[in-house]
Amino acid sequence: MNINNIKKIGFEILKNADIYNIQFEISCLICEALNISKIEFIKKNLNLNSLQIKKCVNYFRRRADNEPLQYIIGKCEFMSLMFKNNNHVLIPRQDTETLVQLIIKNFENKSCIILDIGTGSGCIAASLAYYLKNSFIYALDVSDKALNVAKENFKNLGVENKIKIIKHDILKCFPKIEEKINIVVSNPPYIESENIKKLKNEIKNYEPTIALDGGSDGLVFYKKIISGIDVDNEVFVAFEVGFNQAQNVKKIMEKKLINVFIKKDLSGFERVVMGTYKPICNC
């Protein structure tokens, strides 16, 4: 059996699945199963042994069962960097690049200490550490399994010396960090608990609920973080929000922050809300 035959089998198995770009996904699954590049993939004379065929078919079946491509191949690109991921962490989304880009744009060439709350795969923390040369990041998460993935990503991307991992439950209290934090960033869980069951199968059946569930109104993490920020220096806060949450999050932020702005993502949704905390000066 050669590459063309296995492509056809992939198509047969996946043609009825709800996949936006089926040919692309089949090529990714085959390349990963055979451990070949996209260049080798176009060599039609590449023959497959029975073990390789079995592996490809296994990947196709998992995908047909709605398992996300990124979990099957175990990796995902974000901000032009490659991240390992598995079902203990949320798959990095393109929307989140808007949040990361905004911070990079505002803090390029400045030295800054950043707190990333709910780091998951570590995609936000690692990208900021990678592109902001004078930054240091505290990456927080409640899940040990997620922190293991993040740790591996930080190491693979060569930024492990610029990031300190902290296991912490933000819902219990705001973390005590000795250094002055300049930026608080978070893409917290923000789906209303009731709506989780309405999400697509590939999300609700595979991505960790703990990374999705934002409580009954979807806003519990924003409220907790904003009420917890109690620092004595200026801090910039930037959140990713659900497509219809920006105005609500803005209101929450305005209780404590000034200059609260909303930024749209590339699809035109209000995706990022940011603001600044300025301590009241009694002098």
Sites of contact with ligand GLN (CB under 6 A): 90, 92, 96, 118-121, 123-124, 187-189, 211
Please state the closest distance from residue 283 (CB atom) to ligand GLN, in A.
37
Smaller CB separation from ligand GLN, 25 or 95: 95
116 strand-pairing partners: 139, 185
Please state the closest distance from residue 163 (CB atom) to ligand GLN, in A.
13
Please state the closest distance from residue 188 (CB atom) to ligand GLN, in A.
6
Helix (H) or strand (E) holding 262: strand 258-264
Please state the closest distance from residue 119 (CB atom) to ligand GLN, in A.
5
R_g of the chain, CA atoms, integer Å = 21
How far apart are alpha carbons 257 and 279 in whole angstroms?
10
| Separation of first and last alpha carbons in the chain | 79
What is the SS3 assignment for 73? helix
Smaller CB separation from ligand GLN, 189 or 218: 189
Please state the closest distance from residue 118 (CB atom) to ligand GLN, in A.
5
Please state the closest distance from residue 260 (CB atom) to ligand GLN, in A.
21
Q: Which two tokens stand for residue 171?
A: 């819902």
Smaller CB separation from ligand GLN, 59 or 236: 236
Neighbours of 35 (CB within 10 A): 9
84 strand-pairing partners: 75
Neighbours of 77 (CB within 10 A): 12
DSSP string, 204-216: HTTS-GGGTB--T
Smaller CB separation from ligand GLN, 145 or 155: 145
87 strand-pairing partners: none
CB-closest chain residue to ligand GLN: 120
Position 220: which residue type? V
Smaller CB separation from ligand GLN, 123 or 260: 123
Contact 72, 57 (CB under 8 A): no
Smaller CB separation from ligand GLN, 10 or 92: 92
